[in-house]
């Protein structure tokens, strides 16, 4: 990590045993979280060389998004693992993706009630975490041109 504003020395964090796919800063906890193809999440206090916590995942991390305290992690086995960052050592919920093909991206709702998930099949799933809101879940097709289908590679919410 390179502190651009202070012009200080770059710091390397090591510990993952496979490539890192996702990074996210958690300002409320002053921690950096990294998701890797080694099937782990690592929480880093950037003042320390070793991770503050290592969390096992069921499969490789393909996507990660957070809207404190909700963090959604899309894995290679099409699961979405939900964490409540007020207790980051424990998995809150595991949901099978509403999409049939590989997850490419994920975006946590700004209101922390659910997430969007995008896949290689040109679809997006809108999914709520609370079981009482399951009737609000849906998927839609996008990124299609004639017979060509394109991956959904990124998802985000408009800030307004």
Question: What is the tens place of the pLDDT at every residue in 92-141?
Answer: 999 999 999 999 999 999 999 999 999 999 999 999 999 999 999 999 99
Cβ neighbours, 10 Å, residue 74 = 30
**What backbone phi and psi angles, to 5 degrees, belong to 136?**
-90, -5
Tell me the percentage of the chain whose pLDDT exceeds 90.
84
Cβ neighbours, 10 Å, residue 113 = 15
What span, in angstroms and rounded, lies between the C-alpha atoms of 78 and 84? Answer: 20
Token readout for 85 is 């960052």
**Chain segment 19-42, per-residue pLDDT in tens:** 999 999 999 999 999 999 999 999
Token readout for 57 is 């995942």
pLDDT band at 6 (very low <50, low <70, confident <90, very high): confident
Token readout for 147 is 């017979």
Mean pLDDT along residues 74-88: 96
* CATH top class, domain 20-149: mainly beta
């Amino acid at each position: 990590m390179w502190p651009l504003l202070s012009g200080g020395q770059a710091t390397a964090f090591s510990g993952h045993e496979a490539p890192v796919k996702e990074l996210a800063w958690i300002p409320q906890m002053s921690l950096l979280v990294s998701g890797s193809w080694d099937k782990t999440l690592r929480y880093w206090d950037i003042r320390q060389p070793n991770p503050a916590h290592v969390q096992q995942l069921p499969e490789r991390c393909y996507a990660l998004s957070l809207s404190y305290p909700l963090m959604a992690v899309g894995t290679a086995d099409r699961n979405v693992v939900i964490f409540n960052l007020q207790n980051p050592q424990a998995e809150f919920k595991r949901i099978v993706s509403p999409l049939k093909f590989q997850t490419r991206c994920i975006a946590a709702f700004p209101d922390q009630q659910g997430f969007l998930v995008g896949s290689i099949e040109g679809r997006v799933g809108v999914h709520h975490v609370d079981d009482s809101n399951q009737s609000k879940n849906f998927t839609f097709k996008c990124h299609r041109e004639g017979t060509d289908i394109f991956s959904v590679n990124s998802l985000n919410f408009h800030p307004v």
